[in-house]
Structure 1
Amino acid sequence: MNVKNKFASLPLAAKIAIPCLLLGLGIILGIKFFGNSSKVTYLTETVAKGTLMTSISASGTITSGDTTYITTGSTGTVRKVYVKNGDTVTKNQKLAEITLDDLGRETQTTAWNNYQEALVNVKTAKTQKETDVINILLKKDDLKNAETAKRDAHSGGWNPTTHNPYTDTELLIVDKQYEEAIAGYDAAISNSSISNANISLTQVKASAAYRSYQQVSSTVYAPASGILDNLALAPGVSIGNTQTSSITVSSGTDSTSNSVSVNSQKIGAIKNPEGQYQATVSLTEVDVTTVKSGQKVTLTLDAFPDSSFTGTVLAVNTSGSVSSGVTAYSATILLDKTTIDIYTNMAVSATIITFTKTDVLLVTSSAIQTSTDGSFIQVQKDGKITNVAIESGSSNDFQTEIVSGLSEGDVIVTSTSSTQTKSTTSKNSSGSTLFTGNSRSGGMPGAPGF
């Protein structure tokens, strides 16, 4: 008996129930397998004009500050102090007097003698310069006379000594005397230049000798102008030969100069309220090519985690240094004035702004998509998503300039996400940053619309 005959023999109630069951099962399976739809959520942003900046990061240390330390190599007992902490002092102002012990007096005498010797050398150099100036004038006259004699001899004139026309031998002598006159004048000019250099050198050495004398003299002087801070001197305080740093008291003018090595110690500091800090940071081979003097910098210091600082690139050392096969270049940054006390050798992190472009249309870089036809961005308008071809310009790690294709105020899609929802309960929602819609495929709608 076939299926058709079996169904025909069934009671009427069974004949009605079986089709209903099959229809219900079909509806359930249809809902299960075909009733779900994919809901796509769009994250959007509004296109706006702004400033595009690119930057590089670097690290280093504070290399100079607004503090000049007061040091002395004198030994003895403090006799009198003329200032107190917080006072404003000027460079070379007298700060204190010290009654020197035997070692202190011996060191001061040596330093003073060296300074006097340096002054003598300056005077000698200036005297030599005066002699060279006179010699230049004499050699200039000799050259003028030799030039006249040569011109007369070669123009058919007679020899003033023999009262006869010049012979060939006499012409050769005149020519040689002219050449010697030129050489003499050139030598005088050269000697004068050497004298100028000697004067400068002896003056520098004299200044160094005087600073050495000040370091060990019975009078303590201010090394700079500013506000006195942490001065550790008081009448009766003993200053010994404590090892802090070593200095050599010597004019260094020649090999016979007297010299003695003494220990120098810090006894205070002078802060310059107008001073500025400098930082030195290390750059890679790639970054150094983009860093230029005058670029703006933002900085952070580990010592002040809640503060940020600004500055400017002062100079870039393009010579570089190699360590373990890696080349690094240094940049000096001048920090803007700050009231925070920063100390040398503090660690610093810097962000150097290498490129700035103002008043340009900017979008989040992730909004840009590409196809075989070029770049495009999805634009939301009137509840619909369309693909718009664009031309991009400069960019950084986060934003891209839009040269053409979009206008200020356009709402664009920056990213999408999709979720499976029941068709009987799905609904659309829209807002300032989110837009949702349904799609059977669950993907992005269509190909670029251009």
Structure 2
Amino acid sequence: MNKQQEPQAATSKQALLGTTVSRPWWRRSSVWVGVAVLVAAGAGIAYWQSVKAARALPQYVSQEVKRGNLRLTVAANGTLVPTRQVNIGSELSGTVRNVRVDVNDQVNKGQVLVELDTAKLSAQVERSSASLASAQARLAQAQATTKEARANLGRLEEVARLSGGKVPSASELDTGRATLERAIADEKAAAASVQDARAALSTDQTNVSKASIVSPIDGVVLTRAVDPGNAVAASLQAVTLFTLAEDLRRLKLEVSVDEADVGTVQPEQKATFTVSAYPTRTYPARVTRVAYGSTKTDNVVTYVATLEVANEDLSLRPGMTAAATITSTERQDVLLVPNAALRFTPTVPGAAAPAARDSGGGIMGQLMPRGPRPGGGGQRRQGGAGPKADGAEVQREVWVLENGKAVAVKVMTGISDGRMTEVRSDTLQPGMAVITDQRSGSAK
């Protein structure tokens, strides 16, 4: 028998005897099917574990660090007023005879604005002149009487000297001296009467001159409250006839600054403002004064800040309401990071809930203030406050994304506008990605 016939003969024998010979295990198909199933199950489990691990990794939200300008502003509302405003009234009572100017007229210093009827005033001047002449006549009489009394007394004294005191009698001498003293007193009284009459005349003449009311400044007429024929009654508080503004090409803007912002507003700061009449136009201004005195309205304390305004084209008018924006602090070409990056701290493994609260939790976490985090986390604040609006530097910590991992970087913070904060750091550079939020891998 050859070798090919041997397996066939063995098979025939097995069939004849009713027995079978078992095949080797590696030739069994069930074994390889089971192995394939186990390999597929292992691969599936490994893939599932890798997907689960990938999903468990934190997902960071980042924003690029950049350089730019940062400006802090203070908003305030106020009213435009002239640099100098004068209310013109009358010291005299009388009837208005003539009004020479009207609203919006340009006036010069010393220009006559209104004239009162001077008939009564002229009569008073004449009467005062007569009183002065009468007083001067009485003074002349008194001077003559004094001269006569002095001469009489001189003669009596000469007779007494020549007679050795025998004549005249002592009573005659006393009478002569008394007569001279009375004459001198009468002369002084007459002189005082002359001064009084002269003063009265001067007053009446002044009143006549004041019947013509003149402008005390160069300016423009804002309001007019008098017409010819009106009666003017002088009182303790003069009635306003005209309101003048000195120069409408220069105005003042008086704004109310809240007590929370007044510490950052200083003289010489720049400002801009708008008015309702020209909503698309922005006017420049400059802070000239910040009042120390406060005003309290409905439990709100404000301070008046005065701004200098140029009005060369006369488009602005006194009394207009303005919305001003004062630039309190400005930084040029500084390193800027979002405020959310300064509030962020990565989640600590095994403490997901507290870390989630500390990391900000999205928009609400960025808006709500948070307490100090355990272990400091590089957060060194003064009194737990956020970035300083006044530029006071505070050491803080931000986290940057490097190769998918969060790495802490220390920075010094400067001013903040509520959205971006100025920082200084030797490590942080423009273009680096700072982390602003963290999300769990399962949150898709």
TM superposition score normalised by structure 2: 0.46
Q: Which structure features the higher share of strand residues?
A: 1
Computing the radius of gyration from Cα coordinates, the structure with the larger value is 2
Q: Relative contact order (alpha carbons < 8 A, sep ≥ 6): 1 or 2 greater?
A: 1
